[in-house]
Amino acid sequence: MPKLPSPCIGVCKFRDGGHCITCSMTRPQKHGFRRIEGRKGRRAFLTMLTAQQELLGRYRAWAKAYRRKCEKKGAESPV
């Protein structure tokens, strides 16, 4: 099974205290995701990111866009 793609959906505009306006990741989180090894680590990161989005609010469109990205890559979306 293909590895999970990055949660980044290609908009990358940082506002709201350094968080991206579409995925809620900070720059260090975006760079750190690339270094995460294994499916469990990536799933854990996505769980944390989803919780972060709920806490910050306004990121509802991200889940749909990320599911589409996973489908295109042939990976099963955890969100």
Residue 43: give the domain boundaries.
14-69
Of 52, 2, 57, nearest to 28 by C-alpha is 52
Q: How far apart are the first and last CA of the chain?
A: 17
Q: In this structure, is residue 76 part of a structural domain?
A: no
Q: In this structure, is residue 8 part of a structural domain?
A: no
Task: Give the separation between CA 30 and CA 35, rounded to whole angstroms.
Answer: 10
Q: In this structure, is residue 4 part of a structural domain?
A: no
Is the pLDDT reported for residue 73 higher than 80?
yes
The pLDDT assigned to 58 comes to 81
Query: What pTM was estimated for this model as a whole?
Result: 0.87
Q: In this structure, is residue 1 part of a structural domain?
A: no
Q: In this structure, is residue 21 part of a structural domain?
A: yes
The pLDDT assigned to 64 comes to 94
């294994």: which residue's tokens?
38
Q: In this structure, is residue 27 part of a structural domain?
A: yes
Mean pLDDT, all residues of the chain:
91
The pLDDT assigned to 43 comes to 94
Express each pLDDT in 15-37 by its tens digit.
Answer: 878 999 999 999 999 999 999 99
Q: In this structure, is residue 78 part of a structural domain?
A: no
Q: In this structure, is residue 30 part of a structural domain?
A: yes
DSSP 59: -
Total count of domains within the chain: 1
